[in-house]
Chain A
Amino acid sequence: MSTPSTTAPPAPAGPRATPAPHLSLRSRLFRLEGVSAPYAYVAPFFLLFLAFGLFPLVYTMWISFHRYELGSQPEWTGLDNYTWLFSNPKFYNALLKTITIGVLSTVPQLLLAIGLAHLLNYRMRARNLFRVSMIMPYATSVAASTLVFAQIFGRDGGLANWLLSLVGLGGLDWRNGDLSAQIAIAVIVTWRWTGYNALIYLAGMQSISADLYEAAALDGANRWQQFLHVTLPGLRPTILFTVVVSTIGATQLFGEPLLFGGVNGGALNQYQTLGLFMYQQGWVFGSLGRAATVAWVTFLLIVVLVLVNTGLARWRDRDTEGARR
């Protein structure tokens, strides 16, 4: 069962010959090992993060000031890439599509998730079966789920259009439409992440003190009122967490639109997200400097969105506290 001790290095092995100073040296080495060990344990994380996380982040900014094609040397061009970006209608298109698809996927996803978590929190039979089924989509890759949904949203013989035809609606050309393609992509994202968020909310719900529910029940609050006045306020940090994570996820959307209709995001760029736009600039057109500019602007956008979200939450907090007083 236990790990073989042979893997343990003979740590405090001082020189064996001299008996008198031997002890102090031994114990000094022992102490040194004890002091340095924590740093050794956290070092791999920080070294790898510096190399593959922080350094690329800073370097991206540097590259964004350059004209840089792969294989050639970067050539300083100052703000040229940024002027190019901000005067490019395709960038604004990608920004807009990222936002609309982001809203279309994040809002239903989180609302559904909170409702599902509430249901999953009841005592019931087959609870584990339900919980596991919630998370199955999360286990599927972007590629697999998008390819299946591309089939479901097919123009001829797709499952979605067949369902629509049952209610008397004509067949939609999901992929080539504008809003329809965005909705299709949002459905894929929602399908993959709703269950995952439901479990996160469930975890948050289980850490809300039962005393609060008891007190609310004594005050005559019914289940819905308990949900509104106990569950939701108790979940606030969790909700904030999921909003931030989903916002970041939405700005990064890449695999779904790529596999749904290629790197252009549809013939008219109907669903070309910022992620796709960056990929197109860097790896289709070969202009890594411009790709870096897109990446850096996306990052700034994320920072702003996260600040707005947390700011809103703080503001609402203060608001409700003020109301209580």
Chain B
Amino acid sequence: MSATSVREAALAAPPPPGGRRRRYRAPDAAGPATYVLLAVTAVLFVVPFYYMIVAASRPMAEMNTSPPPFLPGPYLWQNITTALNQQAIGLSIVNSLVVSGITTAGTLLFCTLAGFAFAKLRFRGKKALFAITIGTLMIPPSLGVVPLYKLMSDWHLAGRLESVILPSLVSAFGVFFMRQYLVQTLPDELLEAAKVDGASSTRTVVSIVLPIARPGMAVLGMLTFMTSWNDFFWPVITLNSTTPTVQVALNNLGSGYVPDTSIIMAGTLVGTLPVIVVFLLLGRQIVGGIIAGAVKG
């Protein structure tokens, strides 16, 4: 199910305007220079990943020679084991899965509901409330960390995963994204029909809105998961080495007393692998989602 619904997401996610116009620009076919430039850029974007693997699979001494090694060495597994022992990277992956999983679930539920209300329902103050939602995008998340930290310590949540989960259960971007998606894909007639049939609002959401929203939710889910997995600032502040997320563990690994770059790279590789795997499988959908969620002229 997931594979097909995700593919549907890819097809449905970018809003219609693309197709018709792109055909118009058909004479705009890429020349060889375009391919070369894009290929060079692609290589530049991917090289650091490759280098991560090279560094993670060699002893540190070899990384400090000049010229540096260009091919992977045989020590990958050994370095990974050392990294896993040095910092609780295994635990941190579990923690990150918990945090990202719950955050994603909450974001999907709350943002879909709010997005649906803003897209299709009529209520007083809707315009103002939506404007506020968009306005909150402007507030940098790290601004309120001092009181947030105080709040979390008052609630005895500092250092616990809840302190990372709670503030990120919704996102203004998610509300905006789901609204855009539902405005495009949810036919008004369907809602009218449900109303005529006497379906309650909740009933309508469960049996009409959620199934239709599913492809958009898949894209938003992937984006949210990635963002949450990669979040750095707030987790580093509120969490400590007893309950680290992956990023906190990597930070600790990087700031050790004797930083062994090979071990650091091995840990980094392990901590990045889940996202890379998600990306290799679903990259097209994620790209489609970013394009769909972008601000248009």
Contacts and interface: CB of A to CB of B under 8 A. Distances in A.
B200 A56 contact: no
Given A52-B148, A119-B38, A147-B250, A191 B206 contact: no
Interface of A: 1-3, 5, 7-9, 11-12, 30, 33-35, 37-42, 44-46, 48-49, 52-53, 55-57, 59-60, 63, 70, 116, 119-124, 128-137, 139-152, 154, 156-159, 161-162, 165, 171, 191, 195-196, 199-200, 202-204, 206-210, 213-214, 223, 234-238, 241, 244, 248, 251-252, 254-255, 258-259, 262, 275, 279, 282-283, 288, 291-292, 295-296, 298-299, 302, 306
Contact of B276 (A46, A139, A147): A139
Nearest to B61: A157
Instruction: Name, among A2, A9, A141, A252, the residue most crowded by chain B CB atoms within 10 Å (CB to CB).
Output: A141
Interface residues of B, number: 114
23 contacts: A38-B123, A44-B169, A48-B110, A60-B143, A70-B150, A123-B26, A132-B287, A139-B276, A140-B49, A141-B232, A142-B247, A143-B232, A143-B247, A150-B254, A151-B63, A154-B63, A154-B261, A156-B66, A206-B22, A210-B21, A238-B296, A299-B143, A306-B138
Contacts of B57: none
A131 B287 contact: yes
Contacts of B143: 56-57, 60, 295-296, 298-299
Interface in B75-107: none
B241 to A, nearest CB: 14
B230 interface: yes
A35 B297 contact: no
B17 A152 contact: no
Nearest to A70: B153
Q: Which 10 pairs between the two chains have the least Cβ-Cβ distance?
A: A56-B144, A11-B200, A37-B201, A203-B294, A124-B30, A122-B30, A132-B283, A210-B24, A52-B167, A141-B230
Contacts, number: 349
Contacts of B52: 144, 148
B13 to A, nearest CB: 11
Nearest to B271: A144
Contacts of A214: 24
Give the residue among A39, A56, A259 with the most B Cβ atoms within 10 A: A56
- Residue among A136, A151, A200, A238 with max Cβ neighbours from chain B (10 Å): A151
Contacts of A208: 297
Interface in B48-82: 48-49, 51-52, 55, 63-68
Query: Which applies to chain B's interface (DSSP): helix, strand, loop or mixed?
Result: helix
B183 interface: no
B109 to A, nearest CB: 8
Contacts of B292: 203
B114 A44 contact: yes
Nearest to B112: A41
A142 B232 CA distance: 7
A197 to B, nearest CB: 10
B111 A45 contact: yes
B211 A2 contact: yes
Contacts of B17: 206-207
A40 B142 CA distance: 28
B206 A122 contact: no
Interface in B27-62: 28-31, 34-35, 37-38, 41-42, 44-46, 48-49, 51-52, 55
A168 B112 CA distance: 57
A116 B232 CA distance: 28
Contacts of B254: 143, 146-147, 150, 259
B72 to A, nearest CB: 14
Contacts of A213: 24-25
Nearest to B19: A206
B290 A135 contact: yes
Contact of A33 (B34, B202, B271): B202
Given A134-B45, A282-B146, A122 B287 contact: no
Contacts of A56: 143-148, 151
A31 to B, nearest CB: 11
Interface string B207-222: 1001100000000000
Contacts of B146: 56, 59-60, 63, 282, 288, 291-292, 295
